[in-house]
């Protein structure tokens, strides 16, 4: 089950993107994104609203199909994979959604146990034990019988992480883990991600626009802007980067007002052109 051409330099990357392009209808969101994610590293994908970072994440978990390019995960190319192979691959991946996406009609316990019940032949008592273990790992012991609607925002996120962990994934994805949480609860979620990293050496991919949390958890970070990779590097490298876009993002400088009439004209015509395509 390995790809025919393995890069000889080091251990194969957990995820490898090659010139990835994704479109919704006529509109191209990602214009050729390439980078590798190493085994066991925490990569933070940074970017503003509409930068394409969420689309990138959705593509990585197979919710969107690329229009061209390659995504290699565990020797499979997500661009050409069959539905059945994708389902097999997904048992090695866990995703924690922005709003939690817990099933409202099921208790927290049933939510976390769902992947186990669907994909394993474990007996109920075993599932019960694994369920308690997962809930304990995210600090939600004793909340099995609560419904998602009875939990606070932070607890919902933790429950969602427990569900993502249920199948002991090798790669864990987070969509905006601290969005909509107060700073203390958000710090708790950051702490949780760091603990998971230490405990399981999982490959973790986090999409966020929260700078403080990004610098806390990242081994490496990648800045996406308008569907392209602007910069990729360790938090140190990013901090010292002279790249104007990186500086603008990290120093929180607002988008400059359009001053030059020619630029303005160009912007208008470019956009027109983009829409016609």
Please list, in sequence order, all residues whose beta carbon lies within 8 angstroms of the beta carbon of residue 248, skipping any fewer than 6 positions away: none
Q: What is the token pair recorded at 129?
A: 């034990």
**Exposed, middle or buried, 194 (CB in 10 Å: 0-12/13-18/19+)?**
middle
What would the x/- binding string for other proteins be over residues 68 to 97, using CB under 8 A?
------------------xxx-xx-xxx-x
The H or E element that residue 56 is part of is helix 53-60
Quick one: which segment of 32-40, 74-82, 114-122, 177-185 binds other proteins (CB under 8 A)?
114-122
What would the x/- binding string for other proteins be over residues 7 to 46, using CB under 8 A?
----------------------------------------
The least CB distance from residue 215 to other proteins, in Å, is 27
DSSP 11: S
Determine how many CB atoms are found less than 10 A away from the CB of residue 79.
18
The least CB distance from residue 238 to other proteins, in Å, is 29
For other proteins, how many residues bind (rule: CB under 8 A)? 25
Interacting residues with other proteins between 115 and 144 (CB under 8 A): 115, 118-119
What would the x/- binding string for other proteins be over residues 214 to 253, using CB under 8 A?
----------------------------------------
The least CB distance from residue 115 to other proteins, in Å, is 5
Q: Tell me whether residue 120 or residue 248 sits nearer to other proteins (CB atom).
A: 120
Q: Tell me whether residue 137 or residue 225 sits nearer to other proteins (CB atom).
A: 137
Q: Tell me whether residue 74 or residue 90 sits nearer to other proteins (CB atom).
A: 90
The least CB distance from residue 97 to other proteins, in Å, is 5
Distance CA 206, CA 203 (A): 10
Taking the C-alpha atoms of 269, 274, 276 and 277 in order, what is their torsion angle to the nearest 10 degrees?
A: 140
Tell whether residue 270 is a contact of other proteins (CB under 8 A).
Answer: no
DSSP bridge pairs for 95: 173
Tell whether residue 65 is a contact of other proteins (CB under 8 A).
Answer: no
* Complete DSSP assignment for 261-275: HHHHHHHHHHHHHHH
Asked whether 174 and 150 are in contact (CB, 8 A), the reply is no
Asked whether 81 and 160 are in contact (CB, 8 A), the reply is no
Q: Which of 21, 35, 74, 101 lies at the binding interface for other proteins (CB under 8 A)?
A: 101
Q: Tell me whether residue 69 or residue 148 sits nearer to other proteins (CB atom).
A: 148
- Kindly report each contact of residues 113-116 with a partner whose C-beta sits within 8 Å and lies 24 or more positions away, as own/partner: 113/166, 114/163, 114/166, 115/91, 115/163, 115/166, 115/167, 116/166, 116/167
Q: Tell me whether residue 97 or residue 249 sits nearer to other proteins (CB atom).
A: 97
Distance CA 173, CA 44 (A): 10
Binding interface with other proteins (CB under 8 A): 58, 61-63, 86-88, 90-91, 93-95, 97-99, 101-104, 114-115, 118-119, 163, 167
């Amino acid at each position: 089950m390995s790809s025919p051409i393995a890069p000889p330099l080091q251990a194969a990357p957990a995820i490898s993107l090659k010139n990835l392009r994704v479109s919704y209808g006529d509109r191209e969101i990602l214009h050729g994104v390439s980078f590798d994610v190493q085994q066991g590293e925490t990569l933070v994908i940074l970017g503003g609203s509409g930068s394409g970072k969420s689309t990138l994440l959705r593509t990585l978990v197979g919710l969107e199909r690329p229009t061209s390019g390659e995504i290699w995960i565990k020797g499979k190319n997500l661009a050409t994979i069959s539905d059945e192979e994708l389902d097999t691959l997904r048992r090695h991946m866990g995703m924690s959604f922005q709003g939690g996406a817990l099933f409202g009609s099921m208790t927290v316990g049933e939510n976390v146990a769902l992947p186990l019940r669907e994909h394993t032949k474990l007996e109920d008592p075993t599932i019960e034990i694994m369920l308690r273990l997962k809930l304990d790992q995210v600090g939600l012991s004793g909340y099995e019988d609560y419904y998602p609607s009875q939990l606070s925002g932070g607890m919902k996120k933790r429950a969602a992480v427990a569900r993502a962990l249920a199948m002991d994934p090798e790669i864990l994805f987070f969509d905006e883990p601290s969005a909509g949480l107060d700073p203390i609860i958000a710090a708790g979620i950051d702490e949780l991600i760091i603990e998971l990293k230490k405990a399981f050496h999982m490959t973790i991919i986090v999409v966020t626009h929260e700078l403080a949390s990004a610098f806390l958890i990242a081994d490496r970070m990648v800045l996406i802007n308008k569907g392209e990779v602007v910069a990729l590097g360790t938090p140190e490298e990013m901090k010292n980067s002279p790249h104007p876009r990186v500086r603008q993002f990290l120093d929180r400088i607002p988008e400059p007002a359009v001053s030059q009439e020619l630029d303005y004209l160009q912007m208008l015509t470019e956009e027109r052109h983009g829409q016609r395509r």
